Amino acid sequence: MLRTLFDKIWDSHRVGQRADGRDLLYIDRHVLHELHAHHAFAQLEKQGRPVRRADLTFAVQDHTVATKPGRDETTNPGGTAFIKAMREGCRKNGIRLFDVGDREQGICHVVAPELGIVLPGATHAVPDSHASTVGGLGALAFGCGTTELGHILATQVIAMKRPKRMRVRLDGALGAHVSAKDIALRLIADLGVAGARGFAVEYTGSAIAAMPIEQRMTLCNLNIEMGGRSGFVAPDDSTFAWLEGRPYVPQGEMWDRALAHWRTLRTDDGAAFDREVALDCSALEPQITWGTDPSQVVGITGKVPAPETIDASRRAAAASAFSYMGLAPGTPLAGLPVHRVFIGSCTNSRLPDLEVAATIVKGRRVADGVFAMVVPGSSSVKREAEAAGLDRIFRDAGFLWGESGCSMCAGGNGDRGEPGERIVSTTNRNFENRQGPKVRTHLASPATAAASAIAGRIADVRHLVGSH
């Protein structure tokens, strides 16, 4: 029987079937954050149920922590109670917490892979829709709600219906300054925000083979923005090299055994998928969103689309987006004045993301009137960036260099834009009011965001770099 990688991981983690027909899938690694943890701890305490595998559970303070330099747990008053409640819950239940001030604190989707907490072929759950970021390492990850989080704490399994299988084949060499962010935005535009609903998506092809691990994580991170239940890349030699030596990765003889198993984690030739999609990435230019959902995307040389070119079922949403974004159809994206630039989030805050942005920023200045901010994805990323001198490059250019956390991505930590501001953001959602009431968000890559900060306008990084 030919099987996809998804089938192999699912089958090897299937504990049994519940009376309601759902599979019970064992969760190897469970990572919590403070926005949801307290509800689940309180629920279990009320029911008198213990946490079953505290040793496989980790917690990270990220959503509500302030990311201003010099922050502590009181800097964002709206977060303090959440932070304290998760700390208390972790203490009572013996869960390893990456607390505010811990040298490895950061965004849960950045911290878990960089410490090697997540491994190829492992199942992973997080009470957050961007859980499948770690699919970039070949893990099968599921985002869940708060009640499901309590369920996993109590049982170490998730009760799920088996998703369908989709393969997305990405081929072609990427052009200059084009990255996984641009590929993901193009895919979401092509497939729609519900295009992968009900599917576990495997990303394959020559563009994936050549893609660094951090970019694979960016791609898998954005899988939920086309509605995907999970998304992953089969592990390969790049994955193994990336993982080896990280603190939670098996060592010595155990590493050899694990590695031998990980090399079997591939889709069998000829195995069937429920849906197949392909994208030639070779002609792709940098992409940017023009509207209020992540499928409203054009190339950086493109224009806000005319209503008649938009599918009839999407026209009302487009009209609403034109109005919210203050953009008329036919307006070129490049050249629009921006007020703010944000580089960070679980999508694009790893060291290579910051390196790319720093290369563009180096020796230049943020345009007058633009507030630009870089928030490293973890305290470790921040330290490594500082060791490489990236913080100086950003600061010298006029960027604010922040502490790690989710920051302006969802506005949960008090950082947000002002009404009417236009922001170029390396985050994952351009929904109305997400980065602050009436804030207009354009999603783009770190390269495009950095170039736009310098230009003071939405910029085609390929032109900016050429004119240095």
Partner 1 sequence: MQPFTSHTAIAAPLLVDDMNTDQIAPFLPSRNLKDDYKVMLFHRQRFREDGSEIAEFVLNKPQFRNAGILVTGNNFGAGSSRESAVWSMLANNIRVIVAKSFADIYRENCLQNGLLPIVLGADDADGFIARVVADNGATPFTVDLVSQRIAGPGGPDIAFEIPAADRTRLLEGLDDIGMTMKHIDEIVRFEQQAATTQPWLQRASDSRR
Query: Is 74 a residue that touches partner 1 (CB under 8 A)?
Result: no
Give the residue, chosen from 50, 78, 101, 337, that forms a contact with partner 1 under the rule CB under 8 A: 78
To partner 1, the closest distance from the beta carbon of 383 in angstroms equals 15
To partner 1, the closest distance from the beta carbon of 240 in angstroms equals 13
Site string (196-215) toward partner 1, x via CB under 8 A: -xx-----------------
Q: Select 232 or 399, whichever has its Cβ closest to partner 1.
A: 232
Displacement of CA 277 from its chain's centroid (Å)? 21
Hey, which residues between 1 and 30 contact partner 1 (CB under 8 A)?
12, 15-16, 18-22, 24, 26, 28-29
To partner 1, the closest distance from the beta carbon of 31 in angstroms equals 11
Give the residue, chosen from 2, 176, 241, 254, that forms a contact with partner 1 under the rule CB under 8 A: 254
Torsion angle in degrees (nearest 10) through CA of 345, 350, 354, 356:
-110
Site string (98-137) toward partner 1, x via CB under 8 A: -----------------x-x-x-xx----xxx--------
Give the residue, chosen from 135, 136, 138, 150, that forms a contact with partner 1 under the rule CB under 8 A: 150
Hey, which residues between 363 and 392 contact partner 1 (CB under 8 A)?
none
Contact region with partner 1 (CB under 8 A), list: 178-186, 267-275, 308-316, 356-364: 308-316
Give the residue, chosen from 229, 350, 364, 422, that forms a contact with partner 1 under the rule CB under 8 A: 229
Give the residue, chosen from 144, 201, 281, 354, that forms a contact with partner 1 under the rule CB under 8 A: 144
Count interface residues toward partner 1 (CB under 8 A).
Answer: 80
Give the residue, chosen from 172, 212, 227, 398, that forms a contact with partner 1 under the rule CB under 8 A: 227
CB burial readout 154-172, b (16+ within 10 A) else e: bbbbbbbeebbbbbbbbeb
Contact region with partner 1 (CB under 8 A), list: 182-190, 206-214, 223-231, 395-403: 223-231
Sorted by sequence, the CB contacts under 8 Å of residue 33 that are 6+ apart come out as: 59, 60, 61, 62, 63, 86, 108, 126, 127, 128
Q: Select 261 or 263, whichever has its Cβ closest to partner 1.
A: 261
Contact region with partner 1 (CB under 8 A), list: 138-146, 179-187, 211-219, 365-373: 138-146
To partner 1, the closest distance from the beta carbon of 163 in angstroms equals 8
To partner 1, the closest distance from the beta carbon of 289 in angstroms equals 14
To partner 1, the closest distance from the beta carbon of 14 in angstroms equals 9
Query: Is 315 a residue that touches partner 1 (CB under 8 A)?
Result: no
Query: Is 434 a residue that touches partner 1 (CB under 8 A)?
Result: yes
To partner 1, the closest distance from the beta carbon of 134 in angstroms equals 14
Query: Is 238 a residue that touches partner 1 (CB under 8 A)?
Result: no
Site string (394-413) toward partner 1, x via CB under 8 A: ----------------xxx-
To partner 1, the closest distance from the beta carbon of 90 in angstroms equals 15
Give the residue, chosen from 172, 175, 250, 329, that forms a contact with partner 1 under the rule CB under 8 A: 250
Query: Is 266 a residue that touches partner 1 (CB under 8 A)?
Result: no
Find out whether 310 and 303 touch, Cβ atoms under 8 Å: no
Structure tokens at 380: 């470790």
Q: Select 122 or 178, whichever has its Cβ closest to partner 1.
A: 122
Give the residue, chosen from 138, 143, 402, 446, that forms a contact with partner 1 under the rule CB under 8 A: 143
Find out whether 284 and 176 touch, Cβ atoms under 8 Å: no
Hey, which residues between 286 and 305 contact partner 1 (CB under 8 A)?
293
To partner 1, the closest distance from the beta carbon of 128 in angstroms equals 6
**Three-state SS string across the chain, please?**
CCCCHHHHHHHHHEEEECCCCCEEEECCEEEEEHHHHHHHHHHHHHHCCCCCCHHHEEEECCCCCCCCCCCCCCCCHHHHHHHHHHHHHHHHHCCEEECCCCCCCECHHHHHHHCCCCCCCCEEEECCHHHHHHHHHCCEEEECCHHHHHHHHHHCEEEECCCEEEEEEEECCCCCCCCHHHHHHHHHHHHCCCCCECEEEEEECHHHHCCCHHHHHHHHHHHHHHCECEEECCCCHHHHHHHCCCCCCCCHHHHHHHHHHHCCCCCCCCCCCCEEEEEECCCCCCEEECCCCCCCEEECCCECCCHHHCCHHHHHHHHHHHHHHCCCCCCECCCCECCEEEECCCCCCCHHHHHHHHHHHCCCCCCCCCEEEECCCEHHHHHHHHHCCHHHHHHHHCCEECCCCCHHHCCCCCCCCCCCCEEEECCCCCCCCCCCCCCEEEECCHHHHHHHHHHCECCCHHHHHHCC
Hey, which residues between 323 and 362 contact partner 1 (CB under 8 A)?
none
Find out whether 57 and 99 touch, Cβ atoms under 8 Å: no
Q: Select 150 or 402, whichever has its Cβ closest to partner 1.
A: 150
